Amino acid sequence: MITGRFRWLATLLAGLFGILAIFSGLDRYSEHQPSAIRLVPEVFRVDALRVEAARALASGDAEKAEALATRAILAGPHDARGPAFLGAAKLLEGEQPSADKAFAVARNMGLREPLVQAHFFDAALTEGDYAEAARQLDILLRAHPRLARIDYFFTSLEASGEGRAQLAARLADDPLWSASYLGDFRASDEVLRSRARFLAGAGEGLNLSCKSVEPLVRELTQRNYMREARDISRTYCARRNQGGLLADPQFEELGNGNTFGWRRHGSGDVRISSVGESDKSVEIENRAGVTRLVLSQPIVLEAGEYRVFGSVAGANADRVLISVTCSVPGRPRGGGGALGRGQLVSAPDCPDQVLGIWLRPGSGALRLDDVRMERVGD
């Protein structure tokens, strides 16, 4: 079986079985039903050999793969897959020079064969040439964006500072495969967290929009890696993070469904609405007889005491209460107080903190704006 650093071979080869395998099966059927041969296009009779070679490679049978690849080369000498499969077989047999020669022949036939680019990517990594590795990977993924789902390629570059720099340089051009890189949610937790730290650290060097990283932020949040998710959000979503510890302090993006934005908790007795155009705020009203939750957002804080400030307009402005709890918004424990002077809250030590804004019952609506949070003692 394929193991170690050549495990990417099995993943690539698996993609070759689709439509080619259909004609491969039909070709085998023609051995018993000669009249069926007319149903098999000539090119797919050669493809049957390539499919069998790919299957042999994926199972680790290098000797059989080499024999089938050689036959495929003789039957279709102008197709890059034949020498590419031969190179892969030689690679599995430990014959590096022969493998390099076969892959070089395949590369001269064109740049679209994924095995060829994957091989030269791997060779550049082995030599420590991260610029060339990134170039080969870019060629590979521009032709085959779906291969971005193979963790090996990106994690190999992400493992070193120079590799990360080269990957960042490619991402800065916003290639077609960037969406796959940012949206591959089949990756392990370790890979996803490592990728998040890399992206957060790359900062302004990458031309990534807030919208493009939102799926990754959401996935990290669902896996409860709030700190990594928040770091990415702070890096690429500057507008919604002007409030420092809180996202969207002026409610400019209320209702947009952002992972770290405000979430409404309206009901028949609670009204929540965005008001204003260029200078937005939120209007809240509670017609119930009890204190109700009106807004919340996920947060990432060090455990300790904080003060929450805000601008509140309307009668009895001290009806607004703040809570910081774990998992779900919990009822405020303190007596509240005017947000203009700051309400004191205690942040618990947990990975899924959430801030809640509550409203006591009373007549009339309140208008809330410019909410911010500061750690006590800073």
Within-domain flag for 179? yes
Residue 194 main-chain phi, psi, to 5 deg? -65, -40
CATH code: domain of residue 174: 1.25.40
Domain with 102, as residue range(s), is 4-239
Which class for 58: exposed (0-12), middle (13-18), buried (19 or more C-beta within 10 A)? buried
Pair (290, 216) in one structural domain: no
Within-domain flag for 163? yes
Pair (287, 181) in one structural domain: no
pLDDT for position 349: 93
Pair (188, 296) in one structural domain: no
Pair (235, 289) in one structural domain: no
**Domain total in the chain:** 2
The token duo for 34 is 């000669």
Within-domain flag for 250? no
Q: For tokens 């060779």, what's the residue?
A: 123
pLDDT for position 42: 56
pLDDT for position 36: 43
Distance of alpha carbon 285 from alpha carbon 260, whole angstroms: 23
Pair (151, 95) in one structural domain: yes
Tens of pLDDT, residue by residue over 261-276, are 899 998 889 999 988 8
CATH code: domain of residue 279: 2.60.120.260
pTM of the model: 0.67
Distance of alpha carbon 214 from alpha carbon 241, whole angstroms: 14
Pair (156, 117) in one structural domain: yes
Distance of alpha carbon 304 from alpha carbon 1, whole angstroms: 53
Is-contact 295 264, C-beta < 8 A? yes
Pair (231, 103) in one structural domain: yes
343-347 and 281-286 strand pairing: unpaired
Tens of pLDDT, residue by residue over 214-231, are 889 889 988 989 889 888
Pair (149, 198) in one structural domain: yes
